[in-house]
Amino acid sequence: MLKILKYSFFDLMRSRWSYVYFAFYLLLGIVLLFLNNDLSKAVITLMNVIIVLVPLIGTIFGVMYYYNSKEFTELLLAQPLKRSSIFLGQYLGVALSLSMSLILGLGIPFVFYGLFKSTAIWDFSLLLITGTFLTLIFTALAFNIALSNENKIKGFGYAILLWLFLAIIYDGIFLMTLILFEDYPLDKLSLVGTMLNPIDLSRTLILLKLDISALLGYTGAVFKQFFGTNFGLIVSFIMLTVWVILPVLRIVFKSMKKDF
């Protein structure tokens, strides 16, 4: 698997898309710092951008890579290699190169701006960790979509739909549900609703950091335990990990059964 990972990774590293992605983050970081003149404010803006953009790029890039490397995959399949290593290797190759573009692209301008001397360093690390988690999750989801759809256009369509659903529509439905059932105790429901969507989950992590004062204004005991202690942070990270593991398991499972 490590060999496949190595080749996928280097293959991607020399493809111009990684550079585009890297350059995009570099630019975003520089522009935000330049416009805000303030590290903490730039980090906050970035958080809002990251939780929406990283999933989009992760899904699109994942699907694209899968379809584009079909030949490579078939070449590998005829070699004495396990299927799971081939697909996990490719998946990790994509996810890691995307994460690296993210970390370096954002990290470089912020480090030059004096991140290490700033109090925003923890917020920024949380941002990068969340971004990496989201990349891992959405690349895995993209691979799942691509593995299940031979048709490229259909695959892309589903990928965009998935992003649209999790980034926007889900929250709309979520909000409607909460308002409709406002007469009932809702704190458990709202927490469960958050857990079921990785974008919301990452948002929660960021809320814990930025909006703890507002969150603690709510009365529910479950809420209070979740946001008032480290419990929320731990549960969120566990759930994010589960969100990585489940789609990855499905990649392994699906790839075992697929014909090429």
Partner 1 sequence: MKTLIIIFSVILMTSYTHASQIEVCNTCPISTLKEAIAQAKDFDTVFVKKGTYKEYDILVNKPLTIIGENYPVIDGELKGEVITITSDNVTIDGLFIINVGTSYTEDYAAIRVKKSKHFVIQNVVLEKLFFGIYLEKSSYGKVYHNKIIGDAVEEYNSGNGIQLWYSNHIEIEHNYVEHVRDGIYLEFSDDCIIKNNISAENLRYGLHFMFSNDDIYQDNTFENNGAGVAVMFSKKIKMLNNTFKENWGTASYGMLLKEINDAEIIGNTFEENTIGINIEGSNRMVYKNNNFINNGWAIKVRGACYTNLFIENNFLYNSFDISYNSKVNDNVFDRNYWSNYTGYDLDKDGVGDVPYRPVKLFSYIVNRTPETIILLRSLFIDIIDFSEKVSPVFTPDNLLDNNPLIKKVQW
Partner 2 sequence: MVSIQNLHKKFGKNQVLSGLDLTISEGGIFAVLGPNGSGKTTLIKAILGMVIPNKGEISVLGENIKKSSNYRHQIDYLPQIANFPSNLKVRELIKMIKDLRQNTDEDKRLIELFKLEPFLDKKLGNLSGGTKQKVNIVLTFMFNSPLIILDEPTTGLDPISLIRLKDLIQTEKAKGKTILITSHIMSFVEEVSDEIVFLLEGKIYFKGSISELKTKTNQPDFEHAIASILTDNHA
The site for partner 2, by CB under 8 A, has a size of 24
Site residues (CB under 8 A) for partner 1? 40-41, 44, 47-48, 51-52, 167-169, 171-172, 174-175, 178-179, 182, 186-187, 189-191, 193-194, 200, 203-204, 206-207, 210-220, 223
Nearest to 250 by CA among 173, 147, 161: 147
Q: Is 117 a binder of partner 2 (CB under 8 A)?
A: no
User: Toward partner 2, which CB reaches closer, 8 or 190?
Assistant: 8
Choose among partner 2, partner 1, none what residue 259 binds, the Cβ cut-off being 5 to 8 Å by kind.
partner 2
User: Toward partner 2, which CB reaches closer, 15 or 40?
Assistant: 15
Q: Is 252 a binder of partner 2 (CB under 8 A)?
A: no
Nearest to 89 by CA among 258, 257, 251, 260: 251
> Would you call 14 exposed, middle or buried from its count of C-beta atoms within 10 A (0-12, 13-18, 19+)?
exposed
DSSP per-residue letters across 157-201:
HHHHHHHHIIIIIHHHHHHHHHHHTTTS--HHHHHHHHHT-HHHH
Choose among partner 1, partner 2, none what residue 82 binds, the Cβ cut-off being 5 to 8 Å by kind.
partner 2
User: Toward partner 1, which CB reaches closer, 2 or 179?
Assistant: 179
Near partner 2 by CB under 8 A: residue from 2, 37, 71, 230? 71
Q: Is 211 a binder of partner 2 (CB under 8 A)?
A: no
Alpha-carbon distance of 242 to 225, in angstroms, equals 21
User: Toward partner 2, which CB reaches closer, 7 or 174?
Assistant: 7
Q: What is the phi-psi region of residue 37: left when phi exceeds 0, alpha when psi lies from -120 to 50, beta otherwise?
A: left
Alpha-carbon distance of 27 to 53, in angstroms, equals 14
> x-or-dash pattern for partner 2, window 153-172, by CB under 8 A?
--------------------
Q: How far is the CB of 91 from partner 2 (least distance, A)?
A: 16
Number of neighbours of residue 117 by Cβ within 10 angstroms: 9
User: Toward partner 2, which CB reaches closer, 70 or 154?
Assistant: 70
Nearest to 23 by CA among 64, 72, 57, 56: 57
> DSSP label at 230?
T
Q: Is 249 a binder of partner 2 (CB under 8 A)?
A: no
Q: Where does this chain bind partner 2 (CB under 8 A)?
A: 3, 7, 11, 14-15, 69-72, 74-83, 256-260
